[in-house]
Amino acid sequence: MKKHLQHPIFKKLSELADATGTEIYVIGGYVRDIFLNRPSKDIDIVVIGNGIKFAEAAGKLLETKVSVFKNFGTAMLRYGDLEIEFVGARKESYRLESRKPIVENGTLEDDQKRRDFSINAMALGLNTASFGSLLDPFDGVKDLENKLIRTPLNPVETFSDDPLRMMRAIRFATQLDFTISADAIEAIKKNSERIKIVSAERITDELNRIILAKKPSIGFIYLFDTGLLKHIFPQMAELYGVEVIAGKGHKDNFYHTLQVLDNLAENTEDLWLRWAAILHDIAKPATKRFEPGHGWTFHGHEDRGARMVPKIFAQLKLPLNEKMKLVQKLVQLHLRPIVLAQDVVTDSAVRRLLFEAGEEIDGLMLLCNADVTTKNEYKIKKYRSNFNLVKQKLKDVEQSDQLRNWQPPVSGEDIMKAFNINAGRDVGIIKTQIREAILEGEIKNSKEEAYEYMLEKGKAMGLIPVKLKP
């Protein structure tokens, strides 16, 4: 293993440890990533003794600032592009109502026992006498080979002590495409309600990492099957299931949503586009109706879904800023390109879509393309053909009319000056008429044509122009 410790930092820390008579090890993710052949810039050092004191000595040696976090008993420094965290070896005990441990000094064995998973409990010696030697008491290497997420100790105890580890187990399984051990799955089911003692911020941080994985559905299926989803994101859990009346059923909107999410993930790593995929049908349970002779309908689910977005973002402690507004807009508009693709594509309809979507039009088209989950090859072929026509129309109309992030070519101030009137209802009427004329293709999206149109409509309303040129 010595070949994986060639970076100069390991030799410097080794020499410091020998000089101060301190026993140290590199542990956790850095060691795991060696076996996964993944580069890592984060190094965790466990110190048998006082981790903060050793970190401060390392800071002096390396001539770099040390950040100390006394509440956690840790310290961190940066060395080049590396971030190195130091902690004293410890053993932990927990109270039932909290995931904050009671910490005591411990041995390396104690420290490895408290780690979340066997693959994160492996350590490499850094002292000269043991430099590069692997200490793997819980067969982490074997679990990596078997692609298995397993806890070092009894998983019921591990997850009860720190319920966030249930989310972490699912996150690692999703990111690495590993399987969670059967006893760990049962332990998560048994402890799922204890996730409520974890802050929404910490839960959502893990959830976002699941969403950003190559195939996010892996994580959401684990979350649903273990019962965690109904506690952390009940609106999504409610999408599950198929109701049948008079022999007519509807698709399972939970698994449809996961398919849309996976489809989208193949084409973008944008977290907020992925959230739009998750929420695009979120209001279907609330809008589901059975119409005799027709079947199941979900009328207005896009409007209801858009109204649900702010509440869900607040609940999950997601940002209530332009990111939330982007997701809300995509949920609101997600049916529009699909409807266009199923009908005759008019320039007017395309202009309106561009006008409403603005800069989000590309993301909206990605989402709508991902929303095709039918297994019917004929439908897929027909839809793709029509969808490509919509995309070409969008491109053509955008080039000719420039409606993305549209601003009125004639402003309210222009109208007031032209007719010497104050702000009021007449100004609003004329602005709306100009917008509609542009969207319908009656006039071009230009200052000159819009101004002439304004004069015409104003005169028809009985207004007298005092300024005949823009």
DSSP, residue by residue, 78-92:
EETTEEEEEEE-EEE
CB 371 within 8 A of CB 273: no
Pairing of strands 74-79, 66-69: antiparallel
Is the per-residue pLDDT at 17 higher than 80? yes
Percent of residues in the chain assigned helix, strand, coil, to nearest 5: 55, 10, 30
pLDDT digits (tens, 9 = 90+) for 328-381: 999 999 988 877 766 666 777 788 888 788 888 889 989 988 988 877 777 777
What is the rounded distance in angstroms from the CA atom of residue 240 to the CA atom of residue 256? 9
Q: CA 204: distance to chain centroid?
A: 9
* 356 closest CA partner among 409, 406, 299, 305: 406
Q: What's the alpha-carbon Rg for the chain, to the nearest Å?
A: 30
Length of the chain: 470
Mean pLDDT of the chain: 89
Phi-psi region at 101: left, alpha or beta (left = phi > 0; alpha = psi -120 to 50): beta
| Contact in structure between 166 and 188 (CB atoms under 8 Å) | yes
Residue carrying structure tokens 């299926």: 221
Closest CA relative to residue 197, chosen from 238, 166, 224: 166
- Whether the per-residue pLDDT at 99 is higher than 70: the answer is no
Give the pLDDT confidence score for residue 403 in this predicted structure.
59
Q: Report how far Cα 466 is from the mean position of its chain's Cα atoms.
A: 55
Q: Are 232 and 194 in contact (CB under 8 A)?
A: no
pLDDT for 18 beyond 80 = yes
